[in-house]
Amino acid sequence: DIQMTQSPSSLSASVGDRVTITCRASQGIKNDLGWFQQKPGEAPKRLIYAASSLQSGVPSRFSGSGSGTEFTLTISSLQPEDFATYYCLQYSTYIPWTFGQGTKVEIK
Protein backbone atom coordinates (compact mmCIF):
# COMPACT_ATOMS: atom_id res chain seq x y z
CA ASP A 1 0.00 0.00 0.00
CA ILE A 2 1.11 3.57 -0.63
CA GLN A 3 1.53 5.51 2.61
CA MET A 4 0.77 9.23 2.61
CA THR A 5 2.72 11.11 5.28
CA GLN A 6 1.14 14.50 5.89
CA SER A 7 2.79 17.25 7.91
CA PRO A 8 2.35 19.04 10.15
CA SER A 9 -0.50 17.32 12.03
CA SER A 10 -1.59 20.73 13.32
CA LEU A 11 -0.57 24.34 13.09
CA SER A 12 -1.55 27.67 14.56
CA ALA A 13 -1.66 30.65 12.26
CA SER A 14 -3.05 34.17 12.06
CA VAL A 15 -5.36 35.69 9.49
CA GLY A 16 -3.23 36.83 6.56
CA ASP A 17 -0.47 34.26 7.13
CA ARG A 18 0.90 32.06 4.36
CA VAL A 19 0.33 28.39 5.24
CA THR A 20 1.98 25.34 3.69
CA ILE A 21 0.99 21.70 4.19
CA THR A 22 3.00 18.80 2.78
CA CYS A 23 2.20 15.23 1.78
CA ARG A 24 4.84 12.67 0.94
CA ALA A 25 3.97 9.44 -0.85
CA SER A 26 5.88 6.25 -0.11
CA GLN A 27 6.22 5.69 -3.86
CA GLY A 28 5.63 7.71 -6.99
CA ILE A 29 2.04 8.55 -7.84
CA LYS A 30 2.64 10.96 -10.74
CA ASN A 31 0.12 13.75 -10.08
CA ASP A 32 -2.76 11.56 -8.85
CA LEU A 33 -3.38 13.61 -5.71
CA GLY A 34 -6.16 15.75 -4.33
CA TRP A 35 -6.49 18.13 -1.38
CA PHE A 36 -9.64 18.36 0.74
CA GLN A 37 -10.92 20.74 3.39
CA GLN A 38 -13.23 19.55 6.16
CA LYS A 39 -14.97 21.75 8.71
CA PRO A 40 -16.58 20.30 11.87
CA GLY A 41 -19.90 18.60 11.14
CA GLU A 42 -19.46 18.92 7.38
CA ALA A 43 -18.48 16.61 4.54
CA PRO A 44 -15.04 17.06 2.99
CA LYS A 45 -14.77 19.50 0.11
CA ARG A 46 -12.24 19.10 -2.68
CA LEU A 47 -9.95 22.08 -3.21
CA ILE A 48 -7.33 20.71 -5.61
CA TYR A 49 -7.20 17.76 -8.01
CA ALA A 50 -4.43 16.38 -10.20
CA ALA A 51 -1.98 17.89 -7.69
CA SER A 52 -2.30 21.46 -8.95
CA SER A 53 -5.70 22.02 -10.60
CA LEU A 54 -8.02 24.31 -8.66
CA GLN A 55 -11.54 22.98 -8.17
CA SER A 56 -14.17 25.26 -9.68
CA GLY A 57 -15.46 27.79 -7.15
CA VAL A 58 -12.48 27.48 -4.81
CA PRO A 59 -10.70 30.77 -4.01
CA SER A 60 -7.42 31.36 -5.80
CA ARG A 61 -5.55 31.77 -2.50
CA PHE A 62 -5.46 27.95 -2.48
CA SER A 63 -2.83 26.31 -4.68
CA GLY A 64 -1.25 22.90 -5.03
CA SER A 65 2.09 21.79 -6.39
CA GLY A 66 4.28 18.72 -6.73
CA SER A 67 4.45 15.40 -8.52
CA GLY A 68 5.89 11.97 -7.89
CA THR A 69 6.30 11.71 -4.13
CA GLU A 70 6.21 15.26 -2.75
CA PHE A 71 3.17 17.50 -2.76
CA THR A 72 2.25 20.83 -1.21
CA LEU A 73 -0.95 22.73 -0.46
CA THR A 74 -0.44 26.45 0.03
CA ILE A 75 -2.90 29.02 1.35
CA SER A 76 -1.40 32.35 0.34
CA SER A 77 -3.30 34.54 2.82
CA LEU A 78 -5.25 32.68 5.49
CA GLN A 79 -8.86 33.83 5.94
CA PRO A 80 -11.17 33.23 8.93
CA GLU A 81 -13.21 30.68 6.95
CA ASP A 82 -10.06 28.63 6.23
CA PHE A 83 -9.72 27.31 9.76
CA ALA A 84 -10.43 23.62 9.23
CA THR A 85 -8.76 20.24 8.80
CA TYR A 86 -7.04 19.48 5.50
CA TYR A 87 -6.38 16.06 3.96
CA CYS A 88 -4.47 14.83 0.94
CA LEU A 89 -5.69 11.77 -1.00
CA GLN A 90 -3.72 9.67 -3.46
CA TYR A 91 -5.93 8.06 -6.10
CA SER A 92 -3.32 6.47 -8.31
CA THR A 93 -3.61 3.08 -9.96
CA TYR A 94 -2.23 1.62 -6.73
CA ILE A 95 -5.21 0.42 -4.72
CA PRO A 96 -6.07 1.11 -1.93
CA TRP A 97 -6.45 4.86 -2.29
CA THR A 98 -5.04 6.45 0.84
CA PHE A 99 -5.55 9.69 2.73
CA GLY A 100 -2.98 11.61 4.71
CA GLN A 101 -3.52 11.80 8.47
CA GLY A 102 -4.87 15.35 8.28
CA THR A 103 -3.65 18.82 9.27
CA LYS A 104 -5.75 20.87 11.67
CA VAL A 105 -5.33 24.61 11.03
CA GLU A 106 -6.18 26.59 14.16
CA ILE A 107 -6.36 30.27 15.03
CA LYS A 108 -3.25 31.69 16.68
Partner 1 sequence: EVQLVESGGGLVQPGGSLRLSCAASGFAVSNNYMNWVRQAPGKGLEWVSVIYSGETTYYADSVKGRFTISRDNSKNTVYLQMNSLKTGDTALYYCARGWGSEWGQGTLVTVSS
Q: Are 71 and 33 in contact (CB under 8 A)?
A: yes
Task: State yes or no: residue 57 binds partner 1 (CB under 8 A).
Answer: no
Indicate the residue among 57 and 80 with the shorter CB distance to partner 1.
57
Task: Round to whole Å and give the CA distance between 91 and 81.
Answer: 27
Task: State yes or no: residue 99 binds partner 1 (CB under 8 A).
Answer: yes
Tell me the site size for partner 1, rule CB under 8 A.
Answer: 21
Task: State yes or no: residue 95 binds partner 1 (CB under 8 A).
Answer: yes
Task: State yes or no: residue 43 binds partner 1 (CB under 8 A).
Answer: yes
For residues 92, 95, 97 and 101, what is the CA-based torsion angle, rounded to 10 degrees?
-110
